[in-house]
Amino acid sequence: GQNIDQPTEMTATEGAIVQINCTYQTSGFNGLFWYQQHAGEAPTFLSYNVLDGLEEKGRFSSFLSRSKGYSYLLLKELQMKDSASYLCAVSRPGAGSYQLTFGKGTKLSVIP
Amino acid sequence: ETGVTQTPRHLVMGMTNKKSLKCEQHLGHNAMYWYKQSAKKPLELMFVYSLEERVENNSVPSRFSPECPNSSHLFLHLHTLQPEDSALYLCASSPTHHNEKLFFGSGTQLSVL
């Protein structure tokens, strides 16, 4: 089966840094996505890692280690609007297409 | 605004009803998807369409019937649903069905009574 683990909830302070971890065990791996989902809204794309290492994009960075089955999303200079769920998803081959297998998501609460 | 529009936003139906969910994308993408999001469970892929042809069916019960008349529109026809089918149903699109980032709609929150 496919297994993607991430913490259920996290709380962090405005202006701080937070790291959201994701570990995965899947049959097949093509890359790893992070999505952000505010309550009642559509998930939106944050980052995509296919090679080992760190990808930086403004206040958000994402890291991947394929050999360890591990990724993290790093959010710097936290703002109140960053309160949302963060979804880790692994892209892997399916029967007819590449499929995204999602974790349950990490609900991040940013407090003043 | 993601370029993917879903209607209705909310739907309440009885177990004997027949209803349809609609999705439209304005991005010129060739692939469209249906996902189910239940409370405390991961997003689950239901169906994948590429150029109006179904390329994935993830063992979804036949009471869910997808339809893709063209690459911009996707429907999910619902009949004789169960209360456990209550969930948020999300539509998404991508340029192709090969490993590209998805653009999601805001979803239809479905309650089955």
pLDDT tens-digit profile of B10-53?
A: 999 998 889 999 999 999 999 999 999 998 889 999 999 988 88
**Distance in angstroms (rounded) separating the CA atoms of residues B43 and B5:** 18
With beta carbons under 8 A apart, name residues in chain B contacting A40.
106
Residue A28 confidence (pLDDT): 87
Position B27 scores a pLDDT of: 95
Closest residue to A97, CB basis, from B40, B42, B56 = B56
Q: What local confidence, expressed as pLDDT, does residue B1 receive?
A: 72
What is chain A's mean pLDDT, rounded? 94
CA atoms within 13 A on the CB side of A111: 3
Tell me whether strands B87-94 and B108-112 are parallel, antiparallel or unpaired: antiparallel
Residue B3 has a pLDDT of 93
Contacts of A103 in chain B (CB under 8 A): 42
pLDDT for A19-51, tens place per residue?
999 999 988 899 999 999 999 889 999 999 999
Q: Tell if the CB–CB gap between A98 and B99 is shorter than 8 Å.
A: yes
Closest CB to A45 among B4, B45, B101:
B101
